[in-house]
Chain A
Amino acid sequence: SQTIHQWPATLVQPVGSPLSLECTVEGTSNPNLYWYRQAAGRGLQLLFYSVGIGQISSEVPQNLSASRPQDRQFILSSKKLLLSDSGFYLCAWSVVSGGTEAFFGQGTRLTVV
């Protein structure tokens, strides 16, 4: 069966520090991969998605970036965090053909102080 791993679960980082969140998927090949952010009391905002290695689509201009160095690995990064980057970051995957549901990792709760 397919599983998605996301870590760390919680993170407290100072303003201006770098960020690296990692997500890996097991049990499937060539998945679509997604990064979402959920601010406190708000909906899920799509940040990036990828349909293949090295391919990244950005949805929202910000100081975040994403990379997909391997088929089942998706990384979210920032060189310098802002207070507004605080939130619940969720990685998700879906089958490459689309039209089916997405499955989420357990999320990383990031607090920028």
Chain B
Amino acid sequence: RKEVEQDPGPFNVPEGATVAFNCTYSNSASQSFFWYRQDCRKEPKLLMSVYSSGNEDGRFTAQLNRASQYISLLIRDSKLSDSATYLCVVNPAGTYKYIFGTGTRLKVLA
């Protein structure tokens, strides 16, 4: 089983739609979680950290479910500019490593 798993997509959604991505992780002791965004042929950039109580940043909402070992990202009112690959990242407890999922591709269509 991979340490971090994501549905590769692509998710093709119309502008204005709400879309949700899930990510599962295998290490129950993982302590820090993040969502990154990666545009084609560019470096990943932090979208948001994921906190235990859930957190929101504008149109983006992240949730953590430790019992089921998954995190989610919800994007509301999708924009064309949201088209990218979204990477789920886990920092296992007691390590300095960042483990990346393979990413979920999102295409927002006009």
Contacts and interface: CB of A to CB of B under 8 A. Distances in A.
B98 A46 contact: yes
Interface residues of A, number: 25
Q: Main SS of chain A's interface residues?
A: strand
Interface residues of B, number: 22
A49 to B, nearest CB: 6
5 contacts: A59-B97, A101-B46, A106-B42, A107-B42, A107-B43
Interface of B: 31-32, 34, 41-46, 49, 87, 89, 91, 95-103
Given A46-B97, A102-B46, A109-B41, 19 more contacts: A32-B96, A34-B98, A43-B103, A44-B87, A44-B100, A46-B98, A88-B41, A94-B96, A94-B98, A98-B96, A100-B49, A101-B46, A102-B98, A103-B46, A104-B43, A104-B45, A105-B43, A106-B43, A107-B42
